[in-house]
């Protein structure tokens, strides 16, 4: 079992990070919130706290996979999420577009409507997650979770513009965060970059 891995981040796309460790390259699956944070760390050394699993139907050829997190605490959070009925590895990775600390705050507050905005979660799934995990996530709620993105004035303005264009606030925040991680800072560039990012994702889905 591989519990931790460190190497140079070679590439990052579609929820997968390629890590060069000596002469070996490893593919590590990462949740959405972590992919956004890693965007500015290409060619730099990074470390993941990992889970490994076999993907594929029982009785058929199975593929070994690694899932990576920035800390042991985040890995423990993911393991708790996996205990919710219907929350497999792939589904849980899609759901975590926001940091575990913020996800925990939403669950502990019982905000099913906000939870249902995340990809792969409908109203019933949100209610099930809250029923299973509420009261168990206090250790993951931090001061950072109460300030979800530590947005500056320009970022707040960019988010407001995107919301006025019909984009859900949670998605707008994540788009702005992803664009900001690329070094963009002005409100106009944040808005245009976020719209381009959203358009790119829509095109990929259509394909």
Q: What is the pLDDT of residue 20?
A: 94
Half-sphere exposure of 107 (CA within 13 A, CB side): 31
pLDDT digits (tens, 9 = 90+) for 73-111: 899 999 999 999 989 898 999 889 888 888 998 999 898
Return the minimum-mean-pLDDT range out of 51-55, 64-68, 188-192.
51-55
Within the chain, how many helices (H) and strands (E) appear? 10, 5
Residue 56 burial (CB < 10 Å; 0-12/13-18/19+)? exposed
Q: What is the pLDDT of residue 147?
A: 39
pLDDT digits (tens, 9 = 90+) for 111-161: 898 899 888 888 999 999 999 999 999 888 864 443 344 567 788 888 889
Q: Is 111 helix (H, G, I), strand (E, B) or coil?
A: coil
Q: Choose among 90, 81, 117, 100: nearest CA to 37.
A: 100
Answer whether 0.95 is exceeded by the pTM.
Answer: no
Q: What is the pLDDT of residue 203?
A: 42
Q: Tokens 């664009």 label which residue?
A: 179
Structural domains in the chain, sorted by start: 4-69 (2.40.50.140), 72-146 (1.10.150.20), 153-206 (1.10.8)
């Amino acid at each position: 079992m591989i519990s931790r891995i460190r190497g140079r981040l070679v590439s990052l796309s579609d929820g997968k990070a390629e890590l060069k460790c000596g002469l070996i390259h490893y593919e590590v699956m990462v949740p959405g919130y972590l992919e956004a944070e890693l965007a500015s760390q290409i060619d730099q050394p990074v470390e993941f706290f990992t889970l490994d699993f076999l993907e594929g139907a029982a009785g058929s050829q199975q593929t070994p996979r690694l899932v990576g997190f920035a800390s042991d605490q985040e890995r423990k959070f993911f393991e708790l999420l996996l205990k919710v009925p219907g929350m497999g590895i792939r589904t849980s990775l899609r759901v975590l577009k926001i940091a575990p600390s913020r996800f925990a705050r939403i669950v502990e507050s019982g905000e099913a409507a906000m939870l249902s905005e995340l990809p792969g979660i409908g109203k019933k799934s949100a209610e099930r997650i809250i029923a299973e995990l509420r009261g168990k996530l206090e250790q993951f709620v931090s001061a950072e979770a109460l300030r979800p993105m530590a947005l500056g004035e320009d970022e707040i303005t960019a988010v407001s513009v995107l919301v006025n264009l019909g984009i859900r606030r949670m998605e707008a925040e994540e788009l702005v965060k992803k664009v900001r991680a690329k070094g963009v800072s002005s409100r106009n560039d944040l808005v245009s970059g976020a719209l381009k990012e959203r358009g790119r994702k829509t095109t990929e889905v259509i394909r």
